[in-house]
Amino acid sequence: MKIIDLSKPIQYNKKDPWFMRVKIKHKSHKSAKWLIRVLGLPFRLFPKDFIGWADDCIQKMGVHATTHIDAPWHYSPTCNGSKAKTADEIPLEWCYGDGVVIDMAHKLDNEEISLEEVKAFVDHNQLKITTGTIVLFRTGRDQYIGTSDYHTKGAGVSAEATEWLIDQGVKVMGIDAWGWDMPLPFLIQKAKKENNPDIFWKAHLVGQYKEYCHMEQLVNLGSLPLSGFKISAFPLKIVGASAAPSRVVAIIE
């Protein structure tokens, strides 16, 4: 069995934009000795070889700041008229299944991945997408992780392609770019230029009426075959959250 890590490291990076910057405080082993002393254990009763224990504190980390899975609640407070699921309510059955890679690394930044392109790739490579399949889009933009313009890079999945995948029974899909749609700065600029309110965040907003989750900021999709592997993508159980960090891995038997 081979396990391939598809999750980016969780660490501070000064080049990240302010809205996705992570801050972690690492506490030394020696600091624990004083805590234990305050709790009542005299130094003379410490084990001879006891140095202390290390500890760490996540001081700041948005739920969308690293490799994560978006809950339906992220897209809208309701889905098809009912309350949308939060991260702790995502069925775990959705988060483990057969994986498929749709390779769109040839697409340019700010281009949309159309339904026709997805169907053509699936048909050409004889990929099987059925209920429970987890579909991953490779764009190659994970190479920009850690750079100041990471959030401005990438192609985005179209609303039509997103909806079609849901109709095939897909509940979880993912991408190795910062976001599922085309980059936010581009969408904002395009909507303003064309004076069109129907441009912004179209693929995300499919979740207003069709229930699904997507993962963002994946890595290493180029290390995977197009099919023949399992994906495990269980989110942290953060009550009421719009998303949750996830240690996403591919499992090849």
pLDDT in tens, 170-196: 999 999 999 999 999 999 999 999 999
The structure tokens 């904002």 sit at: 188
pLDDT tens readout for residues 189-216: 999 999 998 889 999 999 999 999 999 9
- Nearest alpha-carbon partner for 221 in 197, 248, 195: 248
Of all residues in the chain, the percent with pLDDT exceeding 90 is 85
The number of angstroms, rounded, from the C-alpha of 86 to the middle of its chain's C-alpha atoms is 15
Q: Which helix (H) or strand (E) holds 176?
A: none
Mean pLDDT of 126-140: 98
> Which DSSP state fits 182?
S
pLDDT, the chain, mean: 94
Q: Locate 230 and state its tokens.
A: 């399992």
The number of angstroms, rounded, from the C-alpha of 53 to the middle of its chain's C-alpha atoms is 31
The Cα 249–Cα 171 span in angstroms is 17
Domain covering 68-252 in this structure, CATH number? 3.50.30.50
pLDDT tens readout for residues 83-107: 999 999 999 999 999 999 999 999 9
Q: Locate 27 and state its tokens.
A: 């506490």
The Cα 122–Cα 181 span in angstroms is 20
Q: Locate 81 and state its tokens.
A: 């008229």
Q: Which helix (H) or strand (E) holds 106?
A: none
The pLDDT of residue 49 is above 90: no
pLDDT of residue 75: 96
- Nearest alpha-carbon partner for 215 in 6, 47, 21: 6
The Cα 81–Cα 209 span in angstroms is 8
Mean pLDDT of 113-128: 98
Lowest mean pLDDT among 23-27, 49-53, 80-84, 92-96: 49-53
Q: Strand pairing partners for 175? A: 137
Q: Angle at Cα 234 formed by Cα 205 and Cα 183, nearest 5°?
A: 35
Contacts of 24-33 spanning 24+ positions with Cβ under 8 A:
24/56, 24/57, 24/58, 24/59, 24/61, 25/56, 25/57, 25/59, 26/54, 26/56, 27/54, 27/55, 27/56, 27/57, 28/52, 28/54, 29/53, 29/54, 31/55
Q: Which helix (H) or strand (E) holds 79?
A: strand 78-79
Residue 47 CB contacts under 8 Å (≥ 6 apart), including other chains: none
pLDDT of residue 41: 78
Residues of the chain with CATH 3.50.30.50: 68-252
